[in-house]
Amino acid sequence: MGEQIIWENRDGVLVVTLNRASKLNALNRSLVSELGEVVHKLNFEADCRGLIITGAGEKAFAAGADISEFANYSGDEAALMARRGHEVFNEIENSAKPVIAAINGFALGGGLELAMACHLRICSANAKFGQPEASLGLIPGYGGTQRLVQLIGKGKAMEILLTGDMLSAPDAHRLGLVNQVVEQETLMDTAFEMMNKILSKGPVAIAKTIEAVNAYFDTKANGFEEEIKGFAHCFDTNDFKEGTNAFLEKRKPEFKGN
């Protein structure tokens, strides 16, 4: 990977850091492209069981897109940029392995869109959230108009999108935009604690749960049917046999992901 992204594998958990602290980790094309490569690695390499995404420094997770990069784009160029962002963020959202955003400061514009594509969000107490694109004469281009509504409802999402107002960490938690608010110094420990709790469960069950939940928002899918299929699939796995045997034998299960 290049300099825009720092990543390391910590016992099967891939920690990805957006590495543009001097620019408040603003998303440019190369960073988004590198992020896409990392997510692809997560999905296809057996030694990666989950992903935690965070930002460098203590000020920002990602304070939007890099405006200087696209200020002179044509509509066609902007569409290509947005489509690439959608591809990467959709792959995050549909990853069969859990993805947690550890939000260590500002999550604005594309930064909030990235956080919302993750399965879970934990933020530091100093975090701020918003979609300020209307102030630039724009709308969100990386899925913000859709995922914000899914997470907090149409009325409040419309207010945030139209006014460009920011949410504090407590307000984001109250609205369901984030799962937990913690102090900056405990952010990564909390993210790992949650990730390890998830990874102690059956990997096939985790993957099928993500798939079924995402189907609720897919107009081409029937979420109830996907749940039935996922439920049935689990019965044919060794994980299910191990999980039920461990329960009956009153011991901790040892899942293998098959």
Structure-token match 């902007």, residue found:
78
Could you say which of 8, 69, 113, 185 is catalytic?
113
User: How far is the C-alpha of 166 from the C-alpha of 109, rounded, in Å?
Assistant: 10
User: How far is the C-alpha of 53 from the C-alpha of 188, rounded, in Å?
Assistant: 10
Residue pair 86/144 in contact (Cβ under 8 Å)? The answer is no
- Picking from 48, 37, 57, 58, the residue whose alpha carbon sits closest to that of residue 8 is 48
User: How far is the C-alpha of 159 from the C-alpha of 171, rounded, in Å?
Assistant: 14
Residue pair 149/140 in contact (Cβ under 8 Å)? The answer is no
Could you say which of 34, 133, 211, 226 is catalytic?
133
Is 113 among the catalytic positions?
yes
Cα angle, residue 13 at apex, residues 52 and 99 outer, rounded to 5°: 35
User: How far is the C-alpha of 258 from the C-alpha of 246, rounded, in Å?
Assistant: 16
Residue pair 69/114 in contact (Cβ under 8 Å)? The answer is no
For residue 110, give the amino acid letter. Answer: G
Active site residues: 113, 133
